[in-house]
Structure 1
C-alpha cells in the first residue's frame, strides 16, 4: 500500500480497475478475505480501501457491485446460468444459447460472458418490474406485436435513462440489441424492438453524465414549491435521496415514525441500495404530509396519490415533470438546461460523499500519529461503527439544513456546472 493517502477522486475508471488488481485484491488476500467474487464494503474498509465506494458513486456513477461485476469481471456465487430472473423457459433457454454461442464461436473471455449475462439479467429484471412477465422472446416472433413491444422496451430504457449514466445506458442497449439480433439471425424474431433506441435518447458519452444540484439551487427549489405535493418531491429527491420511481410509489406503510429517527422501508430491497432510508432531515414534512392526506375519507395510503392511475399513485414521469416545473419556476439551470430529477438525488449523494471525505480527512492527524498510511484504516480500527454512524449523520444533517434552510444562496442564480 502506498505511504501516501489514496487519491481516489483522481483515478479514472481504468485506474481503479488496475488498482484493484494491483493493490486491493492482494490486500484482501493477505487479510484472509475470499477473493474471486465481489468484496463487501466492510471487506474494503478493513483493508483501508473504503474510499473507493465514494469515488465510484461520485465520479463514475457506479455502485460497488456494478464496478466489480461489469468493470473488474468478478461474479457472485449465484451468478450462474440458472439465475436469469424469469420463469419463462423460452427466455431462459434463448439467453443461455446466445451466451453459449458467444463463448464458443467468438471465443470471448469468461469475464466478458459474465458481463453480458449481468446486463441481460438487469434488463430482464427491469422488464419484469414494468410488465410483470418476460415473454418478450415470443412477442418478437410476430410482426403485429412490433408497436406494442417497442413501447414496452421504451418503458425499460426510460428507467435506465433516468437512473444510469449515459455510458452505462449505451452498454446495456448494446447487450440487449445484440441479443435480439442473435434471435433475428436464427429466424426466431421478426424484428429487433430496441434497434433504433440510440436515436431516442441523448446518450452522450465522454462528459460528466450526472451533475448534481448545488446547495444554493436546492435552497431555491425549496422557496419555489407551491403545494405540499411539490414539497414532498423536493425533499424526497434531495433530502432523502430517493429515485423518482420510489418517490412516485411512496406509501405510508413504508414509514416508521415511531422512533427518534424516521425511517422509510423498502421491503423488497432497492436496486443498488439498502432496504431502508433514514430521514436525517425533513421529518416534519413527512409527518405533515401523512396527517394532511389522512384527513381524506378514502385515502389509499400513497403520499402522491392519483385517482386516474390503476396503481393508485402518480408515475415516475409525473414526479419528473413536477420537479422540472419547480426548477423552471425557480430559474434553476444546469449546463443551461432544466435539471432532471436524478440531479436532485445526485445532490444527496454528493453531500454524503463530501461528509465521508471530510470525516476521513479529519482523522488524518490521528493516522499520522499511529503511523498508518491510510486514515480510513484508523477510522475502521479505532472508531466504532456506531460512532462513525453518529458522526456521519450529524454532519449530514448540518449540510442538509444549510441547503434547505437557505444558508447557501450566494450562487443561487448561477448555472451550476460540474
Structure 2
C-alpha cells in the first residue's frame, strides 16, 4: 500500500466550490502529473478541452480553482504551467508557435517565460496576454530594425563584457525607430515601453540581467499621452462589416448587445427576458440587479427590432428558459462569457476585421469602447448645439446651459436622440442613406 503521507492523494482539505486542495510541499513532479490527470484533465475534458493537444488557458485554470496548483509548480518546481504542460503532459503536441521577430531562441524563451509568469501571477485572460505579446514583438521588430540584431539578452547579461551604456543606447535606438518610422501614437508607444521596462525588470529580479536598460525611457522621450492615442475601439466600418457577416438573429443580437447597448460579455451571456422593461420610461430598458458599479439600467436606443425578433424566435421553443442566449449544454442555462468571446472572434474573422486594431485583437471589449466613443461624440454634439443659448445667457461654457438651464428630462432626450442617430448611422450598411 502506498505511503499516504507522500501520495498525491494526501489532502489538506476540500474546497466545496473547487478541486481538492493538498499539501503541495510534499508533491514531486510525478505527483503533480498524477494530480493533473485526475483533476485538471478531467475538468478540462468536461469543458471540451483535450489536454493532449490543447493547453488549458490561464483564465480557465483560474476560473476552475487551479491557481494553487499553478502557484505550486512555480514555487516548488520552478516551472510555469506552460512549461509543465509542454514538458510533462503533452511533449509531442503540435502547437503553433508565435511568429516572433527574432531567431534567437534564448530571447524567445525569455519573452515567453515572462508572459507565462505574468499570466499566472496576474490572472490575465488569453486576450490580455496576446496584447502584451504583440507589444513585446513590436519592440522586438523595432530593436532589430535599429540594431541589426534581435538578441535582447546578450548586452544585459550578468557576465557580459558590453558596457551598460551600450545596452541603453540599443533600447533608446529601438524607440527612436518606433517614433520616427511608424505611425503609432504616443500612447501606443508608451504602452510598448511600459511592458518592455517590466520585461527587463523581470530579468533583473531573476538575476538573468545585470541592469534594466529601459528604466529611463519616460524621462528620455516624454511621450504625450493626454491628447492622442485613445483606448482602442471598433470603428464604424468594423461594426458595419460585423453586421454584414452575421448569419441569423442570434449573431445579430450579439453584435447589437455589445456595440449598440455597450454591454459587457458576461452581461450578454446572461441576458434574460425578465430584464426587459418596456413600460418603465420613454424608451425600453434592460435592468441589471448587479453591475460592476452596482444596480443599473441600459436604454435600448437602437436594435429593439432585433431584440423583438429574437424573442419571437425563442418563444416558439417549447422548452425555452427565458435566456436570450440559451446554452446547448444540459448543465447550463445560458452560454458563458468565454463563449461570447469565442463567437465574437469567429464573427470578426468572418467579417475580415484587421488582426489588430491599434495593437489589440478585435474583442467584445472593443465593442464596448465603440459605444463609449459614440456616447462621447454625442455629448460633444449636444454641448456644441447649446453654444448660442450659452452666449445669450452670458456664458462662454455651453455645459452651464446643459446643467443649469435645461430640465433633466430635456437634457436626457437631447442626448438620447443624438445617440440614437449615431448608432443608426453606424449600423447602417455603408451605402444606405438614412431617412431624416
TM-score (norm 2): 0.48
Larger RCO, structure (CA 8 Å, separation 6 or more): 1
TM-score (norm 1): 0.50
